[in-house]
């Protein structure tokens, strides 16, 4: 797939993450079949790109294109954040986002995402590829607090993320204890101790 040509006749480089907003779907799939792109969630990446958390963040946020007015307030969290950090092999079927309580948003969401309003501090958020993502520590704590069963994918994601990030049980417990009235703290500590 030749790089697109801009008005000056010089080739322009491809974006590191491509979606149907960049090129028609048929062209993206043809380039993948030709070995020029590889899949990254619901997006594609040129084969000469080294996959990074910033690439995965951009791929996650491509699911919010129908929700563009609120995109700047969205924060990828839980299993979506775990995939961004490289703790799972595939993105979740339904991406998980949160917004700060003060950033209320409408409920006309695409089916491909879920959204929660949460209490969150700036120190719990990082910017990757221009997208807001919960830190590895916040992701670990949220998965331990909010997963319905904390088995299978959730437990593996937390264990992998702790290993990848070097975050320990002690630092996770210390972080939870520093927050007043944190719901689900005791259950989270029990679950994390199993990891």
What pLDDT, on a 0 to 100 scale, did the predictor assign at position 5?
42
> Using one digit for the tens of pLDDT, what is the confidence trace for 40-67?
999 999 999 999 999 999 999 987 766 6
From first to last of the 195 residues of the chain, give the pLDDT tens digit. 545 544 444 445 678 999 988 899 999 999 999 999 999 999 999 999 999 999 999 999 987 766 665 667 899 999 999 999 999 999 999 999 999 987 766 666 667 788 899 999 999 999 999 999 999 999 999 999 999 889 889 999 999 999 999 999 999 999 999 988 889 999 999 999 988
> Using one digit for the tens of pLDDT, what is the confidence trace for 123-143?
999 999 999 999 999 999 999
- Kind plus residue range of the DSSP H or E element containing 131: strand 131-134
What residues does 18 pair with on adjacent strands?
A: 44
Q: State pTM to two decimals.
A: 0.87
| Residue 115: exposure state from Cβ atoms within 10 A (0-12, 13-18, ≥19) | buried
Q: How far apart are CA 96 and CA 78, in angstroms?
A: 6
Q: DSSP characters for 11-66?
A: B-PPPSSB-TTTS-HHHHHHHHHTTSEEEETTEEEETTSPP-HHHHHHHHHGGGGG
Q: CA nearest 161: which of 92, 88, 89, 103?
A: 88
Q: How far apart are CA 184 and CA 18, in angstroms?
A: 38
Q: How far apart are CA 6 and CA 157, in angstroms?
A: 42
What torsion do the CA atoms of 88, 16, 38, 57 make, to the nearest 10 degrees? 20
What pLDDT, on a 0 to 100 scale, did the predictor assign at position 80?
97
Q: DSSP characters for 65-129?
A: GGGGGGGGG-EE-HHHHHHHTT-SSS--SSEEEEEETTS---S---TTEEEEEE---GGGEEEET
Task: Determine how many CB atoms are found less than 10 A away from the CB of residue 193.
Answer: 11
Instruction: Using the Cα atoms of residue 145, residue 151, residue 156 and residue 157 in order, give the sign of their dihedral.
Output: negative
């Amino acid at each position: 797939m030749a790089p697109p040509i801009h008005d000056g006749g010089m080739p322009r480089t491809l974006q590191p993450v491509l979606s149907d907003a960049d090129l028609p779907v048929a062209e993206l799939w043809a380039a993948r079949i030709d070995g020029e792109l590889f899949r990254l969630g619901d997006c594609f990446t040129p084969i000469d790109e080294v996959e990074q958390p910033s690439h995965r963040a951009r791929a996650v946020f491509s699911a919010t294109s129908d929700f563009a007015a609120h995109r700047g307030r969205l924060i990828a969290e839980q299993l979506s954040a775990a995939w961004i950090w490289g703790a799972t092999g595939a993105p979740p079927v339904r991406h998980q986002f949160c917004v700060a309580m003060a950033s209320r948003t409408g409920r006309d969401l695409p089916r491909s995402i879920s959204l929660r309003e949460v209490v969150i501090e700036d120190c719990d958020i990082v910017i990757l590829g221009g997208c807001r993502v919960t830190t590895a520590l916040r992701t670990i704590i949220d998965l331990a607090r909010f997963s319905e069963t904390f088995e299978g994918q959730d437990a593996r994601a937390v264990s992998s993320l702790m290993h990848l990030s070097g975050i320990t049980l002690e630092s996770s417990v210390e972080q939870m204890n520093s927050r007043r009235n944190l719901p689900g703290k005791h259950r989270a500590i029990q679950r994390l101790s199993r990891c």
